[in-house]
Amino acid sequence: MKQELSKSKKLIFMIVMCLSNIAIMGTTFYSVIMTKLYANYAEWAVNLAMALPGIIGLFACLAAGKISDMMNKKWMFIVGLVLFALTGASFALLPSNIGLVVMASFNGGLCYGMVSVSAVGIISDTFSDEGERSKALGIYNGVMALVGAVLALVYGFVGDLNWRMAPSPNWFTLVVAVLALLFVPSCPPIKSAAETGEKIKGPKGWAKHLIPLALAFFIVSFAAMSVFTYIDLYVSGNNLGTSSFTGMLSSIQTISSFVCCTAFGWVYEKLKTRITIPAYALIAAGIFIMYFVPSKPTAVIGCIMFGMGWGTVYSFWFFRATVVVPENMVGTATGIVTTANSLSYFPMPYVMSALMAFMHTDNFRDLFIIYGGIVAAACVLSIIINIRKKDVETA
């Protein structure tokens, strides 16, 4: 650890980092007040506001990754938190104007990149020990899901009182920024070997590890999250219930992900890179169960398995990105895998529509065999890679 922290300071530090997830999950307030937005503004403008966080986030993640390797990550983190508080101002304090709504959306995507990349970099810098880092990142990712669930409830409650006040809870990030100023250690950039004449810790040939990692993130995230993002189509298409049942499945998946994200560090200590094998297997099995036996009980079981596998592999991707590159490139690596995650969401609706047209079906469940097959193939590939890796190590 670059700066040894006491147990109490570690606890406060992790609380601050977990609370920063508000800036990552905070743009979800749009979904809570979507009907009000469409009722008050032009459809094209609302669609743009909904799409902008993801689009801007792509570029922001890449840029933030590179910049965070060149400056103190703590200051990027704090600036991102402060800027994100402004996403509540355009609705609550200023006259109704779609331009402000779009600007708030743009700002949300920008802050997502700044906070998400710098947060992972700060945790990586603070916990240089691989075991401690894996546990810290697992907890951080697990709490992210819980923060998203809590924010949805808070946004809904405030939105019922006044829809324009719905994003006002985002002002809490100002409190988080102050806490970060006090309790987050300074994380200055690590100078290159050319600048210091000293060897930088970390593996050589990092690209051959990071590029496949980002590709795995993109492909598996695309297949797995296609299922979960449109799970309501599965519920309605197979007469399993109403939106309340869909909401319950979402909660089940969130809780399962939280549990496995939190336990990631301890499981990783036992399995190392082999942890991806059971994770992929759980996701694929959950999808196949819902495909072959569509019912309420199997939907619940499938979402539990899906959540467990997703929470595990999601934590692995981010953690692994911090250990396959030299210390002075952690920010860049985090930016790359975060971008891969964001990119995976773009083709989802288009591929889904194309596949349903190709298969001549209007039941989303019919696509599960394809999505599950992609994740199962990733599981088999992970088995092969780990077997070959073991052979190399014992040769």
Over the stretch 346-381, which tens digit does the pLDDT of each residue have?
A: 888 889 989 999 999 999 999 999 999 999 999 999
For 139, the 3-state DSSP assignment is helix
Top-tier CATH class for 7-187? mainly alpha
Over the stretch 14-62, which tens digit does the pLDDT of each residue have?
A: 999 999 999 988 877 776 777 787 788 787 777 777 777 778 888 888 8
Residue 209, C-beta contacts closer than 8 angstroms, at least 6 positions apart: 203, 324, 325
* Predicted pLDDT at 1: 41
d(CA 209, CA 190) in angstroms, rounded, equals 21
Contact 77, 180 (CB under 8 A): yes
Compute the residue count for the chain. 395
* Predicted pLDDT at 193: 45
Residue 289, C-beta contacts closer than 8 angstroms, at least 6 positions apart: 298, 301, 302, 305
Long-range contacts, 153-157 (Cβ 8 Å, 24+) = 155/28, 155/29, 155/32, 155/33, 156/32
Among candidate residues 53, 23, 21, 49, the one with its CA nearest the CA of residue 36: 49
Half-sphere exposure of 38 (CA within 13 A, CB side): 8
Measuring CA to CA, how many Å separate 358 from each of 167, 315, 351, 366? Answer: 41, 34, 10, 11
Record the tokens describing residue 235, joined without a space: 């519920």
* Predicted pLDDT at 360: 95
Same fold, 7-187 and 207-394: yes
The ranges assigned to domains in the chain are: 7-187, 207-394
Among candidate residues 121, 119, 167, 124, the one with its CA nearest the CA of residue 144: 119
Among candidate residues 93, 121, 237, the one with its CA nearest the CA of residue 189: 121
Q: Please state the pTM of the whole predicted model.
A: 0.81
Over the stretch 117-176, which tens digit does the pLDDT of each residue have?
A: 999 999 998 998 888 999 999 999 989 878 887 887 788 888 888 888 888 888 899 999
Contact 80, 21 (CB under 8 A): no
Top-tier CATH class for 207-394? mainly alpha
Over the stretch 243-293, which tens digit does the pLDDT of each residue have?
A: 788 888 988 888 899 999 999 999 999 999 999 999 999 999 999 999 999
Q: Could you tell me the pLDDT band of residue 330, with boundaries at 50, 70 and 90?
A: confident
Q: What is the dihedral of CA 174, 169, 25, 304, to 10 degrees?
A: 130
Record the tokens describing residue 315, joined without a space: 């934590």
